[in-house]
Amino acid sequence: MNCGRGEGFLKEQLLPLATVVTPNIPEAEFITGQKIHDINDLKAAASEIVEKHGARAALVKGGHLEGDAVDYLYDGNTIHTFHSKRFDTTSTHGTGCTYSAAITAYLSKGFPLYEAVNKAKQFVTAAIKHSFPLGAGNGPTNHWGIREERVEQ
């Protein structure tokens, strides 16, 4: 993918301003210029986005890999792992936006980054788990799913 000036702007201007970036695998491949095949590649991408491109933290999401949904957060010091099982649903439209918005919401409430990501992972996992088919194609996640989780506990 050749985005000309846009690619440089993203890497040189936007990433250094970011508190946390949340790329999925194709987005992390674009930023790093490296293919991601496994969890070691996910971790390396998270580290590179912080160390080379200047984001304060990077959460590289592994939802495009096979198996459970495992994400890696590099905060400049430590790689943290966030794990959830995968659900058999096609109602996953908006998961990335939901996840990043939930992280932002928890950060704005004063939670430290690790806790904000952990709570956001629980939120988006519940939204996927309790999703429902709507229309044709990939349906949306259920943002009220977290309430279902609280009822089940």
* Residue 90 among the catalytic residues: no
Q: What is the pLDDT of residue 2?
A: 44
96 is catalytic: yes
97 included as an active-site residue: yes
- pLDDT at 9 > cutoff 90: no
Average pLDDT over residues 37-57: 96
Instruction: Considering the candidates 3, 6, 90, 97, report the single residue annotated as catalytic.
Output: 97
Which residue among the candidates 22, 32, 92, 98 is catalytic per the annotation?
A: 92
**This prediction's pTM:** 0.88
The Cβ-side half-sphere exposure at 43, using a 13 Å CA radius, reads: 9
Measured CA to CA in angstroms, residue 15 lies from 22, 93, 114, 118, 125 at distances of: 11, 25, 19, 22, 26
Write the CB contacts of 13 (distance below 8 Å, at least 6 apart in sequence).
none
Concerning whether 6 is annotated as a catalytic residue, the answer is: no
Cα–Cα–Cα angle for 62, 65, 68, rounded to 5 degrees: 75
Residues 61-112: pLDDT tens digits? 987 777 888 999 999 999 999 999 888 887 777 889 999 999 999 999 999 9
- With contact defined as beta carbons under 8 Å apart, do 72 and 103 qualify? no
